[in-house]
Amino acid sequence: MLLVMCLDRMLLLCTVIFGFWRDTHAVSPVPSIPNRVPALVGSCVVIPCSFTPSASHSALGRQGRVVGVRLRYKTSHISILQRTAFSTEDKSTVSREFLGRTSLQGNTDDGDCSVMIDRVHLADSNVYELALKGHGQNDWGNASRVNIVASESPELPVISGVGAATEGQMVSLNCSISYSCPSQAPTLQWRWGRGIQEKSSEYGEPQVLQPQGQGPTLRTSLTFIASYRIKPRMRCEAVYPGGRRVYTVKVLHVTYKPVILQLSSYCVVKGLEVLCRCSVDSNPRPGVTWSVNGSVPPYSYNTSVGSENGTLTAMLRGHMDTPLRIVCFAINALGNDSHTLLQAEDGSLLWKVIPAVCISLATFLLSLLLLFCCRKSSGKRVLTCRPPVYPGDMGIYQDRMPLYINCTEVNNIYTNGSYQLVYQNCTPLFVRTKQVPVWVMFKRFLCCQ
Q: How many Cβ atoms from other residues are within 10 Å of residue 341's Cβ?
A: 23
Q: What is the pLDDT of residue 445?
A: 45
Topology of domain 28-151 in CATH is Immunoglobulin-like (2.60.40)
Q: What is the pLDDT of residue 118?
A: 95
Distance CA 413, CA 184 (A): 165
Q: What is the pLDDT of residue 12?
A: 58
Q: What is the pLDDT of residue 379?
A: 52
Domain ranges within the chain, ordered by starting residue: 28-151, 158-251, 258-342, 344-381, 382-449
Topology of domain 158-251 in CATH is Immunoglobulin-like (2.60.40)
Taking a C-beta distance cutoff of 8 angstroms, is the pair 27, 136 a contact?
Answer: no
Decide yes or no: CATH 1.10.287.110 for domain 258-342.
no
Same CATH topology for 158-251 and 258-342?
A: yes
Per-residue pLDDT of the chain (449 residues), as tens digits, is 554 455 566 665 555 454 444 444 556 788 999 999 999 999 999 999 999 876 554 444 444 456 899 999 988 777 778 899 999 988 889 999 999 999 999 888 888 899 999 999 999 999 999 999 987 788 898 999 999 999 998 989 999 998 889 998 999 999 999 999 999 999 999 988 766 666 678 899 999 998 877 889 999 999 998 888 877 888 999 999 888 899 999 998 999 999 999 999 999 998 889 999 999 999 999 999 999 999 999 999 999 999 988 899 999 999 988 888 999 999 999 999 999 999 876 544 555 556 677 788 888 888 887 887 776 665 554 444 455 554 555 455 455 555 555 555 556 665 666 656 555 555 555 555 555 554 445 445 444 44
Secondary structure (DSSP) of 115-177: EEE-S--GGG-EEEEEEEE-TT-SS----EEEEEEEESSPPPPEEEE-SEEETT-EEEEEEEE
Distance CA 344, CA 109 (A): 89
